[in-house]
Amino acid sequence: MCGIFGYVGTDLDAAGLVLRALKQLEYRGYDSWGVAVAHDRRVVLQKQTGKIGEATAALPPSTVGLGHTRWATHGGVTQPNAHPHVDCAGRLALVHNGIVANYRELRDPLTRSGHRFRSDTDTEVITHVLEACLAQAPDGPEQLLKATIAAFRQLKGLNAIAVLDVRTGQIAAAKSGSPLIVGWGEGATMLASDYSALLDHTRRVTFLDDGQAVLVTRGSGRLFDVETGCELAPEIAEIPWDRAATELAGYPDYMTKEIHEQPATLRRIAATSRHHARQLAALIGQARDVFVIGCGTAGHAALAGQYLLARIAGHRVTFATASEFQYLQDFVTRGSLVVALSQSGETIDVIDAVRAARGRGASIAAVVNVEGSTLWRFADHAVPLMAGPERCVLSTKTFAAKLAILMLTAYELARQGDVGCACIINAADEIERLLAGDRRDLIRRIADEISTRDHLFVIGRGPSYPLALETALKVKEVSYVHAEGFAGGELKHGVIALIEPGTPCLVLAPRDETHDDILAGAMQVKARGDMLIGVSPEPHEAFDYHIAVADLGPATAIVNAVPGQVLGYYLALLRGHDPDKPRNLAKSVTVK
């Protein structure tokens, strides 16, 4: 979703630096962008709708700049609605992530007192609130900070704001909910909503907590508590990845790169994550009851975790979609454990769910890819996914990583950690073979055949049911072909009505206890003219296409996600879509 980058330093090309940083935030999803610099004590702006693409900074030299990528919430995708927003006096340029819940109440008195609004956004209201606060704040080096804190206290909702003051050359920021990170560079201090915008300058960062504000001046950044106004000592952390990890490294796009990084990710987990899995297993073993939650792909991994923990460790955990978990919280008590899965660690539905659960006395364990993210810092116990940066909007390698961590945890719970590691390595080897050989070409041919069809159905039972949901999600979000995943047994309870001659149906049929029943279901759709694509160790007479996946016991689930990823990818290409940036989607969903 929206991205923020601010720079206060010595380089006169602040505009260029901000624009390059915004390009690093593109993967989060956005529909307009803007940059402001301080020049001759004036705000100079460049704002545009659409993608940054090959745009270059057309702004005068300055050592202070602030930029934003906007994913529209309040107000359409127009140039005036793009951030930064400037106050009436032309002294402030402000950017914002989040939603100001009380923006109407704030706007009316401002309009009456003569403030001129130029956009339809909730954000511009903050600019004018801040302008009014600035008029009240005493002159001096902390004037901007004090006004920012005073304005921020008036906002309702989850927000992160950053404001550039052309008179002082400072940037002040404050946050509740949406992420903000201070980057400590050589002779420059930066501010970003995502670590990847900072990596060209530094890996030394401070993650702002909710209710904190920062005043960024050249070579310094001072942290404050919004409620008390007291200064705080910043905690410095090191980002575990460098810029190279975020580059394409010869791949045509990030989706391909990240699909191919799955074997290495799995081997890394097998080699280094046992102690994390053991600790998580101990927490699960001790808890009175355990809930596993996540959204989207992370939710599918959580559901798979429910099956894996039951089958491997005989342990019952309850899956819930994070956005629905609030409606089940009556059962969460002291002694409950909530295991939250998230790539970004910023998904608002997950953060809200764990906050509420902690309020009821539960402990929180998080399985997260982005170390230092909100969820990571909030959790009582955090397990890193170790997948490296994931920049394609679609989750692929982090899905494999979540399954591997949960599988290893289940094996640790069953006191068979060695078996767990061996399973994960087997899955890594099989994915490598699948991606290197004929099977990838076969999936490309299947994509060719079905690329003009309107629907794809995917069925699986037991541990393959979450895989059916995940396969369908991958296909539909990147190719826009309507795809639905079902529990195999559910087909004849309604969905079978949709089957027409030639409708493709992908059947997940590993050699486990679901094998015979899922094939029986497949035969029923075949009898109605369906085109069957079987994903299973051996062929079957009903399959029109057979994607062979070795029998790896529970680890088959990790491999069985890959055909859907590759199919979705080829369908996207054939239908002319950018696989890295599907329309309307954002990498990190920080608003409800």
Where along the sequence are the contacts to ligand F6R (CB under 6 A)?
A: 295-298, 342-344, 347, 350, 394-395, 473, 477, 588-589
Is 2 tagged catalytic?
A: yes
Residue 61 CB coordination number (10 Å)? 12
CB of 131 or CB of 258, closer to ligand F6R: 258
CB of 205 or CB of 255, closer to ligand F6R: 255
Residues 129 and 131: their CA atoms lie apart, in Å, by 5
Q: How far is the CB of 365 from ligand F6R (least distance, A)?
A: 15
Residues 447 and 304: their CA atoms lie apart, in Å, by 26
Select the residue whose beta carbon is closest to ligand F6R and give its number: 296
CA-nearest of 351, 379, 355 to 367 is: 379
- 180 with 191: CB under 8 angstroms? yes
Q: How far is the CB of 514 from ligand F6R (least distance, A)?
A: 24
CB of 145 or CB of 301, closer to ligand F6R: 301
Q: Are strands 545-548 and 531-536 parallel, antiparallel or unpaired?
A: parallel
Which residue is catalytic, options 2, 133, 295, 421? Answer: 2
Residues 11 and 64: their CA atoms lie apart, in Å, by 9
Q: How far is the CB of 209 from ligand F6R (least distance, A)?
A: 19
Residues 122 and 579: their CA atoms lie apart, in Å, by 32
- Distance (Å) of CA 267 to CA 49, 161, 262, 389, 415: 42, 40, 9, 16, 20
Which residue is catalytic, options 146, 175, 474, 587? Answer: 587
- Distance (Å) of CA 553 to CA 278, 537, 559: 21, 11, 11
CA-nearest of 124, 58, 57 to 93 is: 124
What separation, in Å, do the N-terminal and C-terminal C-alpha atoms of the chain show?
12
Residues 59 and 48: their CA atoms lie apart, in Å, by 13
Q: How far is the CB of 585 from ligand F6R (least distance, A)?
A: 8
Q: Are strands 212-217 and 170-176 parallel, antiparallel or unpaired?
A: antiparallel
Q: How far is the CB of 506 from ligand F6R (least distance, A)?
A: 17
Q: How far is the CB of 294 from ligand F6R (least distance, A)?
A: 6
CA 516, distance to chain mean position in Å, is 37
CB of 143 or CB of 565, closer to ligand F6R: 565
Q: How far is the CB of 390 from ligand F6R (least distance, A)?
A: 8
CB of 217 or CB of 343, closer to ligand F6R: 343
CA-nearest of 219, 95, 93, 116 to 165 is: 93
Q: Are strands 455-460 and 381-384 parallel, antiparallel or unpaired?
A: unpaired
Per this entry, what is the length of the chain?
592
- 326 with 352: CB under 8 angstroms? yes
Q: What is the CA radius of gyration of the chain?
A: 25
Q: How far is the CB of 304 from ligand F6R (least distance, A)?
A: 13
Residues 535 and 426: their CA atoms lie apart, in Å, by 17
Q: How far is the CB of 447 from ligand F6R (least distance, A)?
A: 18
Residue 147 CB coordination number (10 Å)? 24
Longest alpha-carbon distance in the chain? 82
User: What's the number of CA atoms in the CB half-sphere (13 Å) around residue 502?
Assistant: 6
CB of 216 or CB of 259, closer to ligand F6R: 259
Residues 401 and 368: their CA atoms lie apart, in Å, by 10
Residues 311 and 117: their CA atoms lie apart, in Å, by 60
CA 134, distance to chain mean position in Å, is 35
CB of 178 or CB of 347, closer to ligand F6R: 347
CA-nearest of 495, 488, 533, 537 to 512 is: 537
Interior angle at CA 240, CA 235 and CA 245, nearest 5: 145
Q: How far is the CB of 425 from ligand F6R (least distance, A)?
A: 25
CB of 258 or CB of 530, closer to ligand F6R: 258
Q: Report which secondary-structure segment, H or E, holds 338.
A: strand 336-342
Is 421 tagged catalytic?
A: no
CB of 357 or CB of 473, closer to ligand F6R: 473
CB of 159 or CB of 395, closer to ligand F6R: 395
Catalytically active residues are 2, 587
